[in-house]
Each structure stands twice: as structure tokens, then as C-alpha cells.
């Protein structure tokens, strides 16, 4: 009926910058769990900025396909 489409996985269409931003956003909260302060708090702000840039890039790529 329909042609089979390749599987892109869970994050197949997400821009890598957005994925890095998600990781950077989560890292400072690990400090709260383990008690060590090995990740500075400004990583969360940098992560939010990268998430926004990555989301814009993802939407741009999706609109051009």
C-alpha cells in the first residue's frame, strides 16, 4: 500500500545542537544528586540557548525537505 520509510529512531530529525543542549541543561542538576560541584550552574543557561538554536535549525531543515 504505502512505500516503506526508513526508521529514523527517536531523535532522527532532531538537530545535534539541540541534543547537546539537552545534555548541558541536565548536567548541573546532577550536582544536586551526587553532592559534588563538578559542573557549573551556567551550563543550564548555555543548554537552554543551544536547545533554542537547535530547535530553530531542526525546523529550518524540516521545512526545506
Contact 51, 24 (CB under 8 A): no
Cell numbers representing residue 60 in the block: 529550518
pLDDT at 55 over 60: yes
Buried residues in 34-59 as b, exposed as e (16+ CB within 10 A) = eeeeebeeebbebbeebbeebeeebe
pLDDT at 14: 77
pLDDT at 53: 94
Q: pLDDT for 4-50, tens place per residue?
A: 666 555 556 778 899 999 999 998 888 777 777 788 888 899 999 99
pLDDT at 52: 95
C-alpha closest to that of 27 among 57, 52, 50: 50
C-alpha closest to that of 24 among 55, 48, 56, 54: 48
pLDDT at 50: 95
Amino acid at each position: 500500500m504505502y512505500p516503506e520509510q526508513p526508521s529514523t529512531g527517536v531523535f532522527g530529525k532532531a538537530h545535534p545542537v539541540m541534543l547537546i543542549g539537552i545534555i548541558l541543561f541536565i548536567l548541573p542538576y546532577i550536582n544536586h544528586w551526587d553532592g559534588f560541584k563538578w559542573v557549573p550552574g551556567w551550563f543550564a543557561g548555555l543548554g537552554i540557548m543551544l536547545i533554542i538554536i537547535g530547535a530553530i535549525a531542526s525546523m529550518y531543515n524540516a521545512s526545506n525537505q
